[in-house]
Structure 1
Amino acid sequence: MPELRHSIAQHYHERTKYDPETIASKNKGLDWSKQPVPFKEYKIGSAYDLKPYIQEKPEAFVDNTDAQWWQRLSRLLFCSYGLTAKMPSMGSAVYLRSAPSAGGLYPAEMYIVSRGTPLLPPGLYNYQCRTHSLMHYWESDVWQKLQEACFWHPTLQNSQLAIVITSVFYRSAWRYEDRAYRRIFLDTGHLLGNIELAGAVTNYRPHLIGGFVDEAVNELLYIDSRQEGAIAVLPLADLLDMKQLPTGRTALPSATETNYPQIPDGELLTYFHLRTQIQAGTTGKLNLPPVKQEKSLEDKYNFPFCEKIPTATKPIDWGNKLEGLEVTILKRRSTRAYSGEDLTFEELTGLLDFTYQPQNYIDQGFDHATDYFDLSLIQTFIAVSGVTGLEAGCYYYAPKVQELRQIRFKNFRKELHFLCLGQELGRDAAAVVFHTADLKSSVAQYGDRVYRYLHMDAGHLGQRLNLAAIRLGLGVSGIGGFFDDQVNEVLGIPGDEAVLYITTLGRQR
């Protein structure tokens, strides 16, 4: 009989931690002959070319309503996941996209499910990044199957289009092995952030669904669930045709598994993913808690005797009709090196304001309530090394009252270099943001599937930080590889908080 352990989510997290004493033995090197291709191809299907609609300005289609519809959809997809640069690499080329991805591996795939519109017949479409086109590979009405798989989610009742995000696991696992599961969902979070913001630019409102019958969605898309799996479903409200759709639950719980066998290295990712799935026929067995209301006006941590610094500030200006947002999405790049120069306190508070205070941006055209799975589970800590007017140290960010609460008094540049696996980005950044979550408590609420939700929400927050930094002319780069336990010990982050993601901020070299 296998011994009783923590949940499989907690077990996975412990197994995939990086540790200074063992990381060298796990670095086996990459087999470049097996490097995956980050694009999906279809030999059969009908292609809908979207390039003309991003090559022309909106004014070109002022008298053509059909072309206006296509242009909006074209811009939505291009700003979400389109190819924005071509970089030479080892005798070939790496194509960069509007959403960042660890190692440039891009495990996510985007599909469009059409209920049937005057311009987009019912069926299944894959977004082809290389050609900026939609491949219509299945021509039939599958909308009811999607509704059934999503437990008749109310946002699917009146919408006509839905985006489905999947992951091709090997694309990321080739490099990051079992720990790739973390990065896959961080990358998906980046993409979700882009879809949300691109929707604001193009008058679409994506509604996030994370609770669905996995195998039913996989079968609907005709994908091989051993290689690829559905991650998120996003019905699109066309704000030019309808008002906001009725809201529904973004996250549903899965089972919690505590009795599992010994799982060899290399098989942990696949095993864990299967255990986070929701099975058909379980709606009556999920014992769903009521949708959580705001429990308290207080933030989670209020450390005694810590200094508290207000962060309320003037919102970032995104330009007339969000023109600055679209430009920022398309020119975003991950910073490769920082100069070590300071940020201003106003720059740091501007980054926090856009990321955590969406209510301050409604009058600019942003949505009033961004969809996350459960943002109350995510905590934010910031290691400050160089911010003018702010003492070096580690701070807890309290978003509800908008203040920084200092918990450690030290410049951690040297330690951050070590914690980020020797990456100079950690050492030279002016501030380093850590997103964390109490994994045990989170599993108690949502089962093992919460591991997906936590990392997607952390990636979504990270993408908002990315874009705010680029808008302010700053450098920014996410880090998914770090010494997990040592981060808590060095910075004073409570031990119950599992570190999910790191975002470095500074001035580019």
Structure 2
Amino acid sequence: MPSPPLMPADPAPAPLAAGKVVEIYQQRTKHHFSAYAAGPTTLDWDARPEPFRHFSGAPTFPLPLADAESLASPPLSPAVADLAALGALLHLSFGLTAWKSLGPDRWAVRANPSSGNLHPVEAYVLVAGVAGLADGLYHYLPDRHALELRARHGHPFAPGPALAIGLTTVMWREAWKYGERAFRYCQLDTGHAMGTVRYAAALLGWRPVEQLRIGTDTLAALLGVDRRDDFPGRRADVSHEEAEILLALDLGEGVADLAPPALRTVATLAEWQGVATCIDPFPMFRWPIIAEVAQATRRPDECPLPPIFGPLPPVQPAARILGRRSAQRFDPNQEMGAEQFAGLLQLLRGETDARLSLVFFVHRVAGLGAGLYLLPRGLWGRAMLEGMQAPGSAPVSVTPDGLVRLRPLAPVELRRVARSLHCHQEIAASACLAVGMLAPFAPLSERDPAAYRDLLREAGLLGQLLYLEAEAMGLRGTGIGCFFDDPVHEAATLTTPEFQSLYHFTIGMPVEDERIETTPAYPALAERPSP
């Protein structure tokens, strides 16, 4: 009997365009009143991912701590690039600032805040011509305040003395708790980390310069995170570090031109050493969409996207940077002063290249009625305002400070709305104010999908500014990554789908939990740098 003819196989579906992947991810990872974005159904807090990664076999070099008393204002001249200055930079950017304990639970607080205190960001330092350190790539150990030599460079990355900070994210640390929304939080944390580097460098007279020419693959090679055998584990998505951004430090005389081919040569000729420790030996869930959106948003070398950094905000003293905390509860009776709020608005309006506009949930600000307000920022914000003022649109009311009155609400109703929109969290209702950050998502991510990372990072960078400005007011801030995305737009009466809410923040008077004990960050180290 003859065999039936073979039927032609169905053609494989065409891969989605990168911009479409970003659009699907943003929509799929929204929280709704009816359902949260996909995440784990159970959490074993005793088996959470390892927060401190080390490279076994890599030599370790201890660093001096920052001297908070001497680092209270910018220096008259840039600091010399030595171990003391590098130790201060890393302490103020990524180091531990305290240990907290409540009963049997003990956890570290760091200079760089993180979603859920899970800390996906890893920091690397490229060193050339710095006394006391061989030229090479170092990984920072925040638990020890030390560097470990990951790769020795026979061919320096730049004429010395030169320093650069490379940031990666271990996305599984966030995915373990937050599931598919983890990519968002990793980018927000990257933005916060960029902000901490910025503030720390200012106290040394240095300036971080974003290296726009360096694409994701080149950075991964330079930082060694593409060396699969150096990151063992049962699953690659758990052990993997995603290359994020490279910041060259202007030490007072500009920065060298870091060209992608030259950096690839540095990586190829380097003497690599060390094997990464395990992040999670028994991962329980898989979130493949995280890898898909990461792939879709990686940037090529010579990417034309503009930098994220804008004008430098006021320099903050080291003691304030090290004393920054995230509030857990707010005093519902505290009012923010009119001058404090006006100063904050002036600082926020000064970011002329900003892509994010802000929705304020004003609970208690002297001289300002309770309700929702919009602060348009940059060219995109002005375009949004012009659309609201177009013929045929409802008239808009603008305050002398440039705030657009969206909705006046009675205080009780506003507290209910703010609490509901922020995943029913009381902290959004008891703060002096809450802030939602609106980004021109569709126009930028469709044109260049890598811009999605930049928008989230800009939100994190803005969050770091709000953290330290709140501390300067004698108040405290807290970032909120959990909110109901589309209902936020509805509450703010925004009908255009082009803008998406990416991050929220609250500022108020903290109520301390007296049950929590605070102990020094590095009890085994001297609390000031070596002479």
Report the TM-score range of the alignment, normalised by the length of the smaller protein. Answer: 0.7 to 0.9
Q: Verify the 8 A CA contact 2:357 2:377 in the aligned structure 1.
A: no
TM-superposed CA distance for 1:220, in Å, is 2.5
The worse-fitting range, judged by mean Cα deviation, of 208-217 and 175-184 is 208-217
Structure 1 residues not aligned, in runs of 5+? 60-64, 145-155, 249-263, 293-314, 360-374
The letter of the residue matching 2:471 is I
Q: Give the 5 Å matches for 1:207-246.
A: 207-210=209-212, 212-224=214-226, 226=236, 227-239=240-252, 242-243=253-254
1:108 alignment partner in structure 2: 121
What is the distance in 2 between the residues matched to 1:92 and 1:450? 39
Which of the pair is proportionally richer in helix? 1
TM-superposed CA distance for 1:469, in Å, is 0.4
Match of 2:179 among 177, 180, 190: 177
Q: Verify the 8 A CA contact 2:28 2:37 in the aligned structure 1.
A: no
TM-superposed CA distance for 1:357, in Å, is 2.7
Q: Verify the 8 A CA contact 1:377 1:442 in the aligned structure 2.
A: no
SS of 1:343's partner is coil
SS of 2:317's partner is helix
What is the distance in 2 between the residues matched to 1:216 and 1:409? 50
Q: Kindly tell me: are residues 67 and 451 of structure 1, through their superposed partners in 2, closer, same or farther at Cα, counting changes over 3 Å?
A: closer
Match of 2:200 among 198, 201, 204: 198
Q: Give the 5 Å matches for 1:156-305.
A: 160-210=162-212, 212-224=214-226, 226=236, 227-239=240-252, 242-243=253-254, 266-279=287-300, 288=304
1:383 alignment partner in structure 2: 361
SS of 1:458's partner is helix
SS of 2:55's partner is coil
Question: In the TM superposition, what whole-angstrom CA distance separates every residue of 1:307-326 from its partner, at most 9, and x where no partner exists?
Answer: xxxxxxxx99x7xxx5x521
Q: Verify the 8 A CA contact 1:54 1:71 in the aligned structure 2.
A: no
What is the distance in 1 between the residues matched to 2:368 and 2:124? 45
TM-superposed CA distance for 1:13, in Å, is 0.4
The letter of the residue matching 1:274 is Q
Q: Verify the 8 A CA contact 1:395 1:405 in the aligned structure 2.
A: yes
1:345 alignment partner in structure 2: 338
Question: In the TM superposition, what whole-angstrom CA distance separates every residue of 1:56-85 from its partner, at most 9, and x where no partner exists?
Answer: 9689xxxxx999832221111111011001
TM value normalised by structure 1? 0.76
The letter of the residue matching 1:328 is R
1:406 alignment partner in structure 2: 405
TM value normalised by structure 2? 0.73
Is 1:487 matched with 2:480? no
Q: Verify the 8 A CA contact 1:115 1:141 in the aligned structure 2.
A: no
Question: In the TM superposition, what whole-angstrom CA distance separates every residue of 1:181-226 from its partner, at most 9, and x where no partner exists?
Answer: 1111111111111111111101111101355332232232222574
TM-superposed CA distance for 1:471, in Å, is 1.1
What is the distance in 1 between the residues matched to 2:496 and 2:94? 36
SS of 2:210's partner is coil
Question: In the TM superposition, what whole-angstrom CA distance separates every residue of 1:327-374 from its partner, at most 9, and x where no partner exists?
Answer: 111100011111122212212222233444379xxxxxxxxxxxxxxx
What is the distance in 2 between the residues matched to 1:266 and 1:347? 43
CA RMSD of aligned residues (A): 3.3
What is the distance in 2 between the residues matched to 1:102 and 1:386? 26
Q: Kindly tell me: are residues 437 and 494 of structure 1, through their superposed partners in 2, closer, same or farther at Cα, counting changes over 3 Å?
A: farther
TM-superposed CA distance for 1:433, in Å, is 0.9
Q: Kindly tell me: are residues 438 and 126 of structure 1, through their superposed partners in 2, closer, same or farther at Cα, counting changes over 3 Å?
A: same
Match of 2:438 among 436, 439, 455: 436
SS of 2:368's partner is coil
Q: Kindly tell me: are residues 275 and 399 of structure 1, through their superposed partners in 2, closer, same or farther at Cα, counting changes over 3 Å?
A: closer
Q: Verify the 8 A CA contact 2:356 2:377 in the aligned structure 1.
A: no
Question: In the TM superposition, what whole-angstrom CA distance separates every residue of 1:280-321 from its partner, at most 9, and x where no partner exists?
Answer: xx75xx7x48x69xxxxxxxxxxxxxxxxxxxxxx99x7xxx
What is the distance in 2 between the residues matched to 1:247 and 1:404? 41
TM-superposed CA distance for 1:47, in Å, is 2.0
Is 1:37 matched with 2:50? yes
SS of 1:504's partner is strand
Match of 2:41 among 28, 32, 46: 28
What is the distance in 1 between the residues matched to 2:425 and 2:194? 27
The letter of the residue matching 1:331 is G
TM-superposed CA distance for 1:493, in Å, is 3.2
Is 1:8 matched with 2:26? no
TM-superposed CA distance for 1:2, in Å, is 5.9
TM-superposed CA distance for 1:406, in Å, is 1.1
What is the distance in 2 between the residues matched to 1:159 and 1:189? 26
